[in-house]
Structure 1
């Protein structure tokens, strides 16, 4: 069996956790997906796995209030973090989400990287910047998906990409931990690039015993 192979279509739901204390055992390797409630996070996960409805999409933003884990086999996981932004919930609950997200990003040892989704028409909102700062404090690699790229023509889409790239270079001059791409779940464009990033993250920790 190839331990480095990632079979996205063989993914299964593992568990939901209200906080890091209820997360599965902190072993192996996982990649988390985060984004504002209208950024298309669930659609992107469904597109990646080719399983419609794996991560539930909702016309009511903010429905996902738990950390949802999906098993890829070989001790690898995808993690769907709580959506944020338009959820009509009490302010104290939002603060609790903030604490849980920050704790998860900074303390989870098996977390190999964060995929941060932003609507290409409205990138770098307050929550996005907060997530980038938390990830930077944890030294965590971040790959940004500018979603719904089919909503813009090529020129405006390229301008949005360049603007986000400039912001990332200011945060990380060498761009060693930050990268960005355009993505469309509807057109399935950008999928190979996303898969390449995930494969790099999830396989980088595997060490050949013969060389260790």
Structure 2
């Protein structure tokens, strides 16, 4: 998809604030500091619409980005960051769970993980949660440019095995630096619109 028009529509914390356009939505989930903002910016061809923070755990709301009047990317708070209070983490958890389980226009969750490391327990919990609720998942393994190309298959196998991935769920090797995986990620998203 060629992206010309993107607007940040709302930062929401409760269902009554969600947009009512009826457009398909794709939630972007991943642990803090995994490269979610970089992924969003690469996919929409912007340098800094999604703010990249040196302090993980900055996104505390559901941020709705309307793309080409055709779909929304919904950036959800990163998980697994220790410097946030337990109460705050639980509140985010409830907000994310309510959004993911009850949003009828949600087409898939784009689960962003770091290809360099095995998925964390939080990544596994998120993937299991999606499977439990029958929510389609697209796995994006970022930071591929930081690993030698010859090692990608080995790292992908670790991801598949650790998540016990459903063979129908796509696993896309991605780099926000080089644009690797960009076309493939858009194809998977457009297929589900």
SS in 2 for 1:9: coil
SS in 1 for 2:63: strand
TM-score (norm 2): 0.92
CA radius of gyration, larger in: 1
TM-score (norm 1): 0.84
* Corresponding residue for residue 71 of structure 1: 66
**Conserved in 1, the CA contact under 8 Å of 2:3 and 2:68?**
no
* Corresponding residue for residue 84 of structure 1: 79
* Corresponding residue for residue 105 of structure 2: 110
Q: What is the distance in 2 between the residues matched to 1:142 and 1:166? A: 16
- Name structure 2 gaps, 5 residues minimum: none
- Structure 2 residue 171 is the aligned partner of structure 1 residue 180: yes
Cα offsets for 1:88-147 (capped at 9, x unmatched): 221011011111111111111000001111111223212211211221122111111110
Q: What pairs up with 1:37-186 in 2 under 5 angstroms?
A: 37-86=32-81, 88-167=83-162, 170-172=164-166, 175-176=167-168, 178-186=169-177
- Structure 2 residue 57 is the aligned partner of structure 1 residue 23: no
Distance 1:72 1:151, change over 3 A: same
* Corresponding residue for residue 195 of structure 1: 186
Distance 1:124 1:13, change over 3 A: same
* Corresponding residue for residue 9 of structure 1: 4
Q: What is the distance in 2 between the residues matched to 1:113 and 1:23? A: 17
* Corresponding residue for residue 206 of structure 1: none
Q: What is the distance in 2 between the residues matched to 1:87 and 1:94? A: 9
Q: What is the distance in 1 between the residues matched to 2:182 and 2:68? A: 21
What is the root-mean-square deviation of aligned Cα atoms in Å?
A: 1.7
Q: What is the distance in 1 between the residues matched to 2:45 and 2:68? A: 16
Cα offsets for 1:54-82 (capped at 9, x unmatched): 10001001101110001124452111111
